[in-house]
Structure 1
């Protein structure tokens, strides 16, 4: 019997060692408690030992996510908004976390309540259009800062708070869409009216410019015609002054050309001035 005692002692030591050794990996934090009392916190991965009657509580060191339930909230301009926030958070102090909330499920519930409360408070200071537009980022920054301050007592740090979705309540979506449709139709009608007016203005300007150009062209034509007639009269006058007899002869030839080229038959006296130059010239 005595020869088994060393083996029994060794077995007890092995059992004690196996129940005393534990490993914390890089994804975990831990605290060691004895009869509910905190003994130490472990923030780094590695192999650790404890007394057999001590307990190890493991916690996530990674960033955790919490999807808060969608909440109905009122904006500054008295419009209801259904917001669906999501929060990323991380355990910062495992001891405080263990003492205040105990586990992740309890932490999520507390964080969700705080996020919805702060989000509701901030949305009440902003107009609906700003919330769904460019003002959302600074608004969520304010919400994140407020939540971070409040959850610090849980040993938790907030990475960020985002609105995953922001919609109108179902009962008002249809009326809003109808108003948007009517507004778009009104704008389209105004644009069409403005376009028609602009087209009429362009046509009127074009017609006016056309009339001006035609008037200028006619004026130029009449001016050139007048200048041509004046030049022609001047030439005829000069020709008449130089040789009245030759001028009378040329005018008679022009009259012959205009008259005799026709197919009409004329009966004239030989004493007519029209035939004076058809007679034999005087010696």
Structure 2
């Protein structure tokens, strides 16, 4: 190989090295900054093949997709002095790589600590003006919108746009949970005791009303029975009187037999009378003439 050939090959190698050092590719998911001795020369937001000065310039890239940061559980005091442990996550995008680089540096993960601090501060301020029922109701969307707006305003200086801030979980501290459960149990016991007391009162009232109605019914029944008995006795007396008037001998005979029946029905009765007593005359001698 001649010297000319060797020189041509060496030239091609040098040109290839210079080309590889001068050209770089920005993908669709990236945005880049061209730096010259640590100073930003130009930002690049369009994907494709780009050029830079070799050796003197270098390129750093940032992701232009949605990124998320999860905030660990933070204890927050609400407006009604309730304590709440809140877990949040934040979705953001790097929209100004130059400002982001100037505020944070070349490592994108360094934003996590600053973002968590801003979100925590806004979370405490906004939730501190709201009650527990607001956080658990439909007003929660308005609360999160307020937090998102505050965080977006503060993070604008870092080249970051906040897309969303959400509460992933909101729990009461264990001691608060135990206290609430204890209050709920006490409330249920109070309601049960009140229901039992009202039931006992209703039962006594029903029993009193039933006893009063029973007394009234018995009194009415006794009065009706006495009236009927009086009427029956009056009718019986009238019948007896009429029968006695029709045949006094038979009536006397019948009444005497009835008296015998009442006395001797048991079979163990004893009757002590004088021999000349007229009561047992029918047992001693039957009537002289047959009765009609």
1:29 touches 1:94 (CA, 8 Å); kept in 2?
A: no
Q: 1:274 to 1:89 in 2, by over 3 A?
A: farther
Which residue of structure 2 lines up, in the alignment, with residue 10 of structure 1? 12
Deviation at 1:260, TM superposition (A): 3.1
CA distance in 1, matches of 2:60, 2:154: 24
Which residue of structure 2 lines up, in the alignment, with residue 146 of structure 1? 150
Q: What secondary structure, in the 3-state scheme, does the structure 2 residue paired with 1:229 have? A: helix
RMSD: 4.2
Deviation at 1:208, TM superposition (A): 0.9
Which residue of structure 2 lines up, in the alignment, with residue 159 of structure 1? 163
Q: What secondary structure, in the 3-state scheme, does the structure 1 residue paired with 2:197 have? A: helix
With normalisation by structure 2, the TM-score equals 0.69
With normalisation by structure 1, the TM-score equals 0.71
Which residue of structure 2 lines up, in the alignment, with residue 31 of structure 1? 32
1:30 touches 1:41 (CA, 8 Å); kept in 2?
A: yes
Alignment of 1:1-283 (within 5 A): 1-26=3-28, 28-35=29-36, 36-42=39-45, 44=47, 47-53=48-54, 54-68=57-71, 75-76=78-79, 85-102=88-105, 103-127=107-131, 129-130=132-133, 133-134=136-137, 137-163=141-167, 183=183, 187=187, 190-191=190-191, 193-195=193-195, 197-233=197-233, 235-237=235-237, 239-240=239-240, 243-244=243-244, 245=246, 248=251, 251-263=255-267, 264-266=269-271, 267=273, 271-272=278-279, 275=282, 279=287, 280-281=289-290
CA distance in 2, matches of 1:8, 1:251: 164
Q: What secondary structure, in the 3-state scheme, does the structure 2 residue paired with 1:232 have? A: helix
CA distance in 1, matches of 2:42, 2:81: 53
Deviation at 1:2, TM superposition (A): 0.8
CA distance in 2, matches of 1:282, 1:121: 122
1:30 touches 1:56 (CA, 8 Å); kept in 2?
A: no
CA distance in 1, matches of 2:78, 2:25: 50
**What count of residue pairs does the alignment treat as equivalent?**
275
1:31 touches 1:38 (CA, 8 Å); kept in 2?
A: no
